[in-house]
């Protein structure tokens, strides 16, 4: 996947705000090698929106040294991994760097609103609350795993 620097303010509504998720419903966990992917979810989109953002958590274990290298979903024409940040009250996002996507030891890779997220560019159809959307994560060492992202408003 080409790593182009994108600057797409129109997408910010899909990756921005949202409250903390401490009480979020816990979706199933999926293990791949020494990694566990947990709580994959996606925020529902308005009918006219053509972008959406996926979030999930990857947890390692003692000997893990891995990296998320690619993500795909049949519901997205293209997928990118982004990092949101806020400076002077203005939220922006950029393509995540490889060093943003490592899982080392028992550390966690957390994708969440206003942080790292998987950007679904060109939603094939609107994302409706209650559905489950397949998302395939590819790790450098552990390989690929497909999880079901729960579409819910948080
Ligand atoms: Cu984004």
Residue by residue, pLDDT tens for the chain (154 residues) are: 444 444 444 455 555 544 333 333 345 789 999 999 999 999 999 988 999 999 999 999 988 899 999 999 999 999 999 999 888 989 899 999 999 999 999 999 999 999 999 999 999 999 999 999 999 999 999 999 999 999 999 9
pLDDT for residue 14: 55
Distance 16 CA to ligand 1 centre (A): 8
The rounded Å distance from CA 63 to ligand 1 centre is 31
Question: Residue 137's pLDDT is what?
Answer: 97
Tell how far the Cα of 130 is from the centroid of ligand 1, in angstroms.
22
Query: How many angstroms separate the alpha carbon of residue 35 from the centre of ligand 1?
Result: 24
Burial category of 152 from C-beta neighbours within 10 Å (exposed 0-12, middle 13-18, buried 19 and up)? middle
CATH of the domain at 62: 2.60.40.1890
CA dist 55 and 76 (Å) reads: 15
C-alpha 97 – ligand 1 centre gap (Å): 13
Tell me, yes or no, whether 93 lies in a domain: yes
Question: Is residue 12 assigned to a domain?
Answer: no
Give me the domain span that covers residue 137: 27-151
Q: What is the pLDDT of residue 79?
A: 97
Centre of ligand 1 from the C-alpha of residue 110, in Å: 15
User: For residue 22, is it within any domain?
Assistant: no
Domain contains 106: yes
In angstroms and rounded to an integer, the radius of gyration of the C-alpha atoms of the chain is: 15
Distance between Cα 144 and ligand 1 center (Å): 22
In a domain, 69, yes or no: yes
> What's the confidence (pLDDT) of residue 63?
86
In three-state secondary structure terms, 60 is: coil
- Residue 14 placed within a domain: no
What is the pLDDT at residue 129? 96
Ion ligand 1 neighbours (CB, 5 A) are 15, 82, 93, 119
pLDDT at 15: 57
pLDDT for position 47: 87
Gap from CA of 62 to ligand 1 centroid (Å):
31
The count of structural domains within the chain is 1
């Amino acid at each position: 996947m080409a790593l182009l620097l994108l600057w797409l303010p129109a997408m910010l509504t899909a990756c921005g705000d949202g409250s903390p998720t401490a009480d979020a419903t816990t979706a199933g966990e999926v293990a791949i090698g020494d990694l566990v992917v947990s709580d994959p979810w996606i925020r529902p989109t308005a009918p006219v929106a053509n972008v959406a953002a996926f979030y999930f958590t990857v947890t390692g274990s003692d000997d893990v040294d891995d990296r998320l290298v690619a993500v795909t979903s049949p519901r997205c024409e293209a997928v990118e991994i982004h990092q949101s940040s806020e400076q002077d009250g203005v939220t922006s996002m950029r393509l995540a760097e490889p060093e943003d996507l490592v899982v080392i030891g028992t550390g966690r890779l957390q994708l969440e609103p206003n942080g790292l997220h998987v950007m679904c560019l060109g939603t094939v159809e609107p994302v409706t609350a209650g559905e489950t959307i397949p998302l395939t994560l590819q790790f450098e060492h552990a390989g690929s795993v497909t999880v079901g992202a729960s579409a819910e408003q948080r």
